[in-house]
């Protein structure tokens, strides 16, 4: 539960929520989001993960590129929607 001040739901806040939700789905979406999860995790159908290795230790070239792009997007958005 978040603690804070109650505010009136304005049109601007609704639009901002849609923007943030859309960005979040692209970056962290369940079906192929751009940013690989942080921390130790396993990826389905990955031979190295099946052997017990943390997937973050053997990201594919595509996952590394997607991570860099996503981090740039997040860096540019920081503070923009606050």
Q: Can you give the pLDDT at residue 29?
A: 64
The structure's pTM equals 0.45
- Dihedral angle over CA of 36, 42, 46, 52, nearest 10: 140
What is the residue range of 80's domain?
55-82
In a domain, 33, yes or no: no
pLDDT by residue, tens only, the chain of 82 residues = 456 778 788 998 888 888 888 887 777 766 556 665 555 667 778 888 888 887 778 888 888 888 788 778 777 777 655 4
Indicate whether 69 belongs to any domain: yes
- Nearby residues of 59 by Cβ (< 8 Å), 6 or more positions away: 36, 67
63 lies in some domain: yes
């Amino acid at each position: 539960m978040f603690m804070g001040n109650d505010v009136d739901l304005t049109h601007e806040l609704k639009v901002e929520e849609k923007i943030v939700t859309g960005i979040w789905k692209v970056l962290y979406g369940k079906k192929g989001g751009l940013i690989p999860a942080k921390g130790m995790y396993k990826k389905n159908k990955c031979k190295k993960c099946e052997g017990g290795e943390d997937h973050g230790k053997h990201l594919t070239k595509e996952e590394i590129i997607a991570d860099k792009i996503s981090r740039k997007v997040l860096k540019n958005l920081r503070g923009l929607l606050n």
